[in-house]
Amino acid sequence: MESQEETAHSVEERFLTIAKVFRPELETMSVERRLAGIGDVLSVLYSAPIAFAGLIWLALTTDLKVVQENAILLVLFAVLWVIFNRAVFFFVVELGPNRYASADGSLFGIVLWSAMLLIGPIFLWFIVLWSIYGFVIDLRTATSNASRWDSLRNFSLQIAAYTTGLLLPLTFYRRLGGQYPFAGFTSSAIFPALGAMLLFLLLMIVLWSGYLAYVSWSQGMTGEGSSVRTTIYFFFLALGLNFAPHPFAILASGLFIQNGPLIFIFFMVGMFMVAYLARRLSKATESTRQQSRQLERLEQLGRAIINAPPGEETLPDILQEHLPNMFPAGNLVVWTFPDRILFKHPEQWTPDLDTVWPWLLRQTEVQGFLPKDATPWNDQYFKHQPVLMAPIQEFESGQTFGGFYLELHTLAQPWDRRSLNTLIPAVQSFTDQITSAMHQSVVYSRSLEYQRVTQELQMAGDIQSSLLPTILPNIPGWQFAMTLEPAGETSGDFFDIIPLTDGKIGIVVADVMDKGVGPALYMAISRTLIRTYAIELDSQPDTVFFATNERILTDTTSSLFVTAFYGVLNPKTGELTYCNAGHNPPYLLRSDGIADTHALIRNAIPIGIAEDTTWGNDTVLLQPGDALILYTDGIPDAQNHGGEFFGESSLVEVAKASLGKSAGDLQAAILDAVHQFVGGAPQYDDITLMVLVRDR
């Protein structure tokens, strides 16, 4: 074993001796970055001569007369190449913790082979110029020497592929009887073209195999041998993604020869539509993958924080376990001011926190910056990757005491404002969990000083309170009043107001069946899932409950369940679309006196009971002067000393008598009636009441 390790290190030293001639800084890097850097240099060294020889070969085979005779076709194919390069699709693979690989593909291979089959290798000059243009752009936007070498490696391999890698198959094509232009749909024309394409695929495997072998070897050197199979799988999948469409160039060339350019262009339009749809699908797939991973990691992190011993000392270990791969992070740091690091990736990275935190101290929301944006904490513009910044604030005072800084990987996925914004809810949820964890520690310290026996209950109660909205929505023409009176230290009830797109708001009132710490934790998980899915799925209450139900049943073994009401209100029209999952029916009090009371009855079973449940939506319209009363069973089930129940009929009567008053007065009237009825009897259940009034 020692002999194998010594041999591996000896090989690395030989590689380093060669590579540091071109990149002296490799010697001072960490093992992972040094091995990656050596791979880039070695790849350039073996591919550059092939690329140079290919350029000479292409120059020797170039006939300017062909350019003159086919000028219009060259322009057509150049335009098609540019268009198809705008419809690039991609996929991303996770190789390990915060290690990603991405590959893009397009149907531009159809354009490439069609051009070569119709006019010969002269079109390769355009591809070479296009590659040079892309390489120059990459160099101008590169933010580090490592990214420049990465671009140089890709450029060198690309030129080798598009010159030598294509000229050899074209020579083979001519030797087999192929000709320019393509002879049409005959076996003597089709089989040489297919043979040339197959040879090109084999040459690409050979050309990239050196780099692939080195990457596999370096993964073994860093103890990541388990990801070698994933790397090889990714390599062949990336090749297949690009090479699968190539044979369709034979069909395109044949159509051009037999039916003319119009039919050829019609075919290319169809191929572009396929490529465009593939691009949209790849973006949607990657977005879904990221959001699913973020939901999974956030849920695991939330549970880990809840289950961890109180105190800040365990938080770095929890983050080290659950934060990697939560976000597509190039560089990521979570810290408390001024410089206490809770999590950092990569370890050898040294972020300039002294510059960042004075600016972040004044922020209250997540901020995103694309590479073209200036970063406000710097006096001058510096090249940077897409960045997300977020403050971490104290629960009680709202004072910023820490920060979240994320530089995103620049992979095949294009980062724009929209894709950057899709990460903001997950970042906000993460910082909220850090706030809760920190607040949990504060509550624990205070409780330890006064009351050891009740410290966990008090902590859970404070965390629950932090999950409830503290500010009423300020929407012209509408009034809100909300309250929750827990029967003990913790509560199984919860309510929420969720801002949605287009000015809509989500309204949630729910109750976990049972009491104590377990239902309180169940409530916290349920509230997080409902809110997260509500933001992700927007105005689809039934879909939100379906997703929440599936996740709860998958990840918990508890016999608890949740009755919940979730409605999406359009304040402009007064339309409320809702799903009532076994909850007490809210009452809509009409001001017109025609149908003065309408119960929003149950249209689904409670959450957490059965899988594959059918959920439904209903819609009502709140007219000016109407009032909506939402509550939990703590109100109708309130008992006096005689064992009598307050009941839903009393609730409706009190609400009717106060109709026309403000939401706050209407809520106060109901609570006063309940308290007077109960008298001095103990409160057996949590009381939650939300009142919504539309102004006349």
Residues with Cβ within 8 Å of 688's Cβ and at least 6 positions away in sequence, in order, are 483, 484, 485, 493, 494, 495, 509, 511, 631, 632, 634
Residues in the chain: 696
**Residue 555: its pLDDT value, please?**
79
* pLDDT confidence bin for 2, thresholds 50/70/90: very low
Nearest Cα residue to 685 out of 589, 614, 584, 606: 584
What mean pLDDT is predicted for residues 139-149? 80
393-422 pLDDT, tens per residue? Answer: 887 777 888 888 988 876 666 677 888 888
**Residue 129: its pLDDT value, please?**
93
What mean pLDDT is predicted for residues 131-148? 84
- Under DSSP, is residue 582 helix (H, G, I), strand (E, B) or coil? coil
> Comparing 215-229, 396-410, 465-479, 648-662, which segment has the lowest mean pLDDT?
215-229
The CA-CA-CA angle for residues 573, 578, 581, to 5°, reads 170
- Identify the residue whose tokens are 């040459």: 203
CATH number of 471-694: 3.60.40.10
- Identify the residue whose tokens are 């749909």: 185
Does residue 561 carry a pLDDT above 70? yes
- Under DSSP, is residue 72 helix (H, G, I), strand (E, B) or coil? helix
* pLDDT confidence bin for 692, thresholds 50/70/90: very high
Residues with Cβ within 8 Å of 394's Cβ and at least 6 positions away in sequence, in order, are 400, 401, 435, 438, 439
Dig out the tokens for 87 from the structure.
Answer: 């419809």
**Residue 566: its pLDDT value, please?**
95
Q: Do domains 293-433 and 471-694 have the same CATH topology?
A: no
Dig out the tokens for 497 from the structure.
Answer: 């107001």
What mean pLDDT is predicted for residues 33-62? 89
Dig out the tokens for 14 from the structure.
Answer: 């030989």
What mean pLDDT is predicted for residues 158-180? 92
| E strands, 252-337, in order | 329-336
**Residue 159: its pLDDT value, please?**
93
- Please check whether residue 156 is in contact with residue 43, taking contact to mean a CB–CB distance below 8 angstroms: yes
**Residue 434: its pLDDT value, please?**
83
* pLDDT confidence bin for 127, thresholds 50/70/90: very high
- Percent of residues, the chain, with pLDDT higher than 90: 32
* pLDDT confidence bin for 235, thresholds 50/70/90: confident
> Comparing 49-63, 249-263, 364-378, 429-443, which segment has the lowest mean pLDDT?
429-443
CATH number of 293-433: 3.30.450.40
237-250 pLDDT, tens per residue? Answer: 777 777 888 899 99
**Residue 613: its pLDDT value, please?**
79
580-589 pLDDT, tens per residue? Answer: 999 999 999 9
Which strands form 340-345's sheet, in the order they lie side by side? Answer: 340-345, 329-336, 400-408, 387-393, 367-369
> Comparing 135-149, 241-255, 351-365, 443-457, which segment has the lowest mean pLDDT?
443-457
Q: How far is CA 168 from CA 174, 265, 297, 583, in A?
A: 10, 28, 49, 72
Does residue 225 carry a pLDDT above 70? no
538-555 pLDDT, tens per residue? Answer: 768 999 999 989 888 887
**Residue 1: its pLDDT value, please?**
44
The span from the CA of 92 to the CA of 407, in Å, is 17
What mean pLDDT is predicted for residues 622-631? 94
- Please check whether residue 410 is in contact with residue 517, taking contact to mean a CB–CB distance below 8 angstroms: no
**Residue 527: its pLDDT value, please?**
86
**Residue 487: its pLDDT value, please?**
78
Residues with Cβ within 8 Å of 151's Cβ and at least 6 positions away in sequence, in order, are 135, 138, 139, 142
C-alpha gyration radius of the chain: 32
What mean pLDDT is predicted for residues 291-306? 79
What mean pLDDT is predicted for residues 271-283? 85
| Total-model pTM | 0.54
Domains of the chain by residue range: 14-259, 293-433, 471-694
Mean pLDDT for the chain overall = 84
